[in-house]
A and B are shown apart, each in its own frame.
Chain A
Amino acid sequence: MRAVNLRHLLVITAVLLGSLGGCATPPPADDADAVADFKEANDPLEPTNRAIYAFDDALDTVILRPAAKAYRFIVPAPARAGIHNALTNFGTPVQLGNDILDGRPRRAGDTTMRFLINTTVGVLGIFDFAKNWGYPDHDADFGLTLALWGLPEGPFLYLPVFGPSDPRDAIGLAGNAVMDPFTWVGQGTTVRALDWSRMGVNALDQRERHLDDIDSTKKTALDPYATFRSLYRQHRRGQVEDLRKDKRATIPVWFPESGASDKVTYSPAVSPAY
């Protein structure tokens, strides 16, 4: 869950808008293959995006990656898992709000049960008991909600600090911030400090979880920027697909005739090739 304070978001948006200068030059119209590639990449702001990528990458190399490595070194794995679970639990309002906006009652039910179980039995969300009791976690954010509502992802965007995105997910970030009660609760210094701490720990947690993946991608890719662009899009499309396909009925499993939608059905038209 990437919850962001609305104020921070406004500052970053302003910075981003100020830096939107360069546009990619489309290939000549008579080169059909090149035009197809250009359209597939769907990255008209590529020069700007690459500049922001370089900026983010430098920031990451100097600050976030070493911090995440230190976090992994100092905090033992079970404690990190507990912190991750607690952060996920803090994300409940945004998750639940989006489950409802998605019109997915079973997802909303999972989120609610997870919150109730993990906040109590799981000691303020540190232990994820709900997962093993039949209430697994799922991804829900306003970017996914907009996708389900039919808003196209639009061209690729590389955001300062936030990294790979697109206009839909950028709006999604703002939407999540609006839906997050922590954006609105309290004005004091303590609240603000706690808010920033949560953001910081969240960043550490997310970065630590992807330390090995990002290192190996950077090492093996000839063009890391293009590779991250592709990875981001595929990952988001996969999440949208999971959300779209999750059409579990609200009728309980033990109720007659209700299990059908929960089961995997194999279409008889596709049959073994060997």
Chain B
Amino acid sequence: MPNRRNFLLLIAASLLPTAGRLVRPALAQADGHASDFVKGIGDKLVAVVNGPGSERDKRERLTQIIDSGVDVEGVARFCLGRFWRNATPEQQKRYMELFHQVLVNNITSKLGDYQGVRFTMGRAQQRDDNDVVSTVVGRPNNPPTNVDWIISAANGSPRIIDVVAEGTSLRLTQRSDYASYLSRNNNNIDALINAMRQQVAQAG
């Protein structure tokens, strides 16, 4: 949904033929913002992954990048879907902590696989209120992958809310994983929390 300012801008654009030219740079700038944001995060990630430093050091720095660049809370809520509403505040809190750990582990555990990673920036678009920035990620031993970064600025500053690799959304996939696990465990949220705790423990 376009917000009010944009709506007014749109009316202005349709009334004044010259205003149409004013809107265009504004749009281009917005795309630039999202692209710059993704490029900034991408550069930081690549620098950490390919750079020097101990494994622990790298993990710490990756965690910082994730915390500042990803809307972890929003993603966590999305992944639990309707079960978020059914969960007790205590369950919500534990789930949120575990989700954060699982996410960080999933990303940092791939440090080795991603050694030598490179990425090239593609175009930026707007889709439903969000910015979609396309990139191509290349890593040794693997074919180049098209990765779209979905950026939302709903909470003020831009944050990653989803990563879509070759048409597959990370958060949608995670949600269906949790939904299926829950449906096979009597929709018991504690069972999910225990399973996540085990995952975290195994990742050590």
A220 near B126: Cβ-Cβ < 8 Å: no
Scan residues 217-238 of chain A and give those whose CB is less than 8 A from a CB of chain B.
Answer: 219-223, 225-227, 229-231, 234-235, 237-238
Q: If the complex has contacts A227-B177, A270-B126, A271-B10, are A33 and B29 also in contact, measured as CB distance less than 8 A?
A: no
Chain B residues, Cβ within 8 Å of A34: 183, 187
For residue A209, CB closer than 8 A to chain B, the reply is yes
Please tell me if B18 contacts chain A, counting CB pairs below 8 Å: no
**A37 part of interface (Cβ distance < 8 Å):** yes
Q: Which residues of A sit under 8 angstroms from B23, Cβ to Cβ? A: 268, 271
Docked complex Cα distance between A274 and B152 (Å): 10
For chain A, the count of residues having a C-beta within 8 Å of the partner chain is 41
Contact indicator B6/A226 (Cβ below 8 Å): no
Q: Are A222 and B123 within 8 A (Cβ)?
A: no
Q: Are A266 and B27 within 8 A (Cβ)? A: yes
Bound-state Cα–Cα, A37 to B152, Å: 27
Partner of B181, one of A72, A222, A234, A267: A222
Q: Tell me whether B33 and A230 are in contact (CB under 8 A).
A: no
Contact B167 A235 (CB under 8 A): yes
**Is B101 an interface residue when CB atoms closer than 8 A count as contact?**
no
**Chain A, Cβ-Cβ closest to B3:** A273
Partner of A216, one of B2, B102, B113, B192: B113
Which residues between 63 and 99 of chain B lie within 8 Å of chain A, taking CB atoms?
A: 82
Q: What 1/0 mask marks residues of chain B from 16 to 32 whose CB sits below 8 Å from any chain A CB?
A: 00001001001101110
Cα A6 to Cα B57 with chains together (Å): 55
Task: Verify A274–B168 contact, CB threshold 8 A.
Answer: no
CB-CB under 8 A from B143, the residues of chain A are: 84, 209
A239 at the interface (CB under 8 A from B): yes
* A271 contacts B113, C-beta separation under 8 Å: no
Smallest CB gap from A227: residue in B: B177
A264 touches B125 (CB 8 A): yes
Query: Is B2 touching A270 in the complex (CB atoms < 8 A)?
Result: yes
Query: Does A212 have its Cβ within 8 Å of any Cβ on chain B?
Result: yes
Q: For A37, what are the chain B residues with a Cβ–Cβ distance below 8 Å? A: 179, 183
Q: How many residues of B contact A (CB 8 A)?
A: 53
A223: which of B109, B113, B184 is its contact (CB, 8 Å)?
A: B184
**CB within 8 A of A212: which of B2, B142, B176?**
B142
**A272 interface residue, CB < 8 Å from B?**
yes
Q: Which residue of A has the minimal Cβ distance to B158?
A: A274
A234 and B10: CB pair below 8 A?
Answer: no
Is B50 close to A, CB under 8 A? no
Chain A positions within 8 Å of B177 at CB level: 221-223, 226-227, 230
A227 near B10 (CB under 8 angstroms)? no
B34 to chain A, nearest CB (A): 9
B9 x A238 contact (CB < 8 A): no
Docked complex Cα distance between A229 and B175 (Å): 12
Q: Do the beta carbons of B27 and A223 come within 8 Å of each other?
A: no
Residues of A within 8 A of B140 (CB): 77
Does A268 lie within 8 Å of B10, measured CB to CB?
Answer: yes
Verify B166–A271 contact, CB threshold 8 A.
no
Task: Given A219-B109, A272-B27, output 4 extra A-B contacts at Cβ < 8 Å.
Answer: A234-B168, A268-B20, A271-B27, A273-B129
Residues of A within 8 A of B (CB): 33-34, 37, 40-41, 72, 77, 84, 209, 211-213, 216, 219-223, 225-227, 229-231, 234-235, 237-239, 241-242, 264, 266-274
11 A–B contacts from the bound complex (CB under 8 Å): A37-B179, A212-B142, A220-B199, A227-B173, A229-B176, A234-B167, A234-B168, A268-B23, A271-B30, A273-B30, A273-B153
